[in-house]
Amino acid sequence: EVQLVESGGDLVQPGRSLRLSCAASGFTFDDYAMHWVRQAPGKGLEWVSSISWNGVATGYADSVKGRFTLSRDNAKNSLYLQMNSLRAEDTAFYYCAKATCSSINCYGGAFDIWGQGTLVTVSS
């Protein structure tokens, strides 16, 4: 079964750091790019970050650029989102999603498999 399982969400104070993980199974992890998408309370979906199949290329939303770092360990079929200098507005459910191609973007590309999400709450 193709599956993505996120972990690492927690309640943290503003300015602190948190690392989210996403464990993949059921598909050849290093064939595909991966993404993080979040949904804040009462808001819509927001793209956060993407990484290519080999980790060489990454992309970030302006709202997290310079604070978040996305990486992957293909040997462990795992994706990691290091979140630093967290702000209240980073409070959200964070979902990892599998791309349908190996690069961050490809014509016709989509996010075809999603995890169930992990909750990050930034509050003092």
Partner 1 sequence: QSVLTQPPSASGTPGQRVTISCSGSRSTIGINTVTWYQRFPGMAPKLLIYSDNQRPSGVPDRFSGSKSGTSASLAISGLQSEDEADYYCTAWDDSLSGHWVFGGGTKLTVL
- List of residues contacting partner 1 (CB under 8 A): 35, 37, 44-47, 50, 59-62, 95, 97, 100, 104-105, 107-112, 114-117
Compare residues 11 and 45 and give the one whose CB is closer to partner 1.
Answer: 45
Q: How far apart are CA 106 and CA 4, in angstroms?
A: 21
Minimum CB separation from partner 1 for residue 33, in Å? Answer: 11
Q: Which residues of 11-34 are buried (b: 16+ CB within 10 A; e: fewer)?
A: ebeeeeebebbbbbeebebeebbb
With DSSP H G I counted as helix, E B as strand and the rest as coil, what are the percentages for the chain, rounded to 5?
Answer: 5, 50, 45
Compare residues 29 and 60 and give the one whose CB is closer to partner 1.
Answer: 60
Compare residues 83 and 99 and give the one whose CB is closer to partner 1.
Answer: 99
Minimum CB separation from partner 1 for residue 57, in Å? Answer: 10
Minimum CB separation from partner 1 for residue 13, in Å? Answer: 27
DSSP code at position 39: E
Minimum CB separation from partner 1 for residue 16, in Å? Answer: 26
Point out which residues pair with 13 in neighbouring strands: none
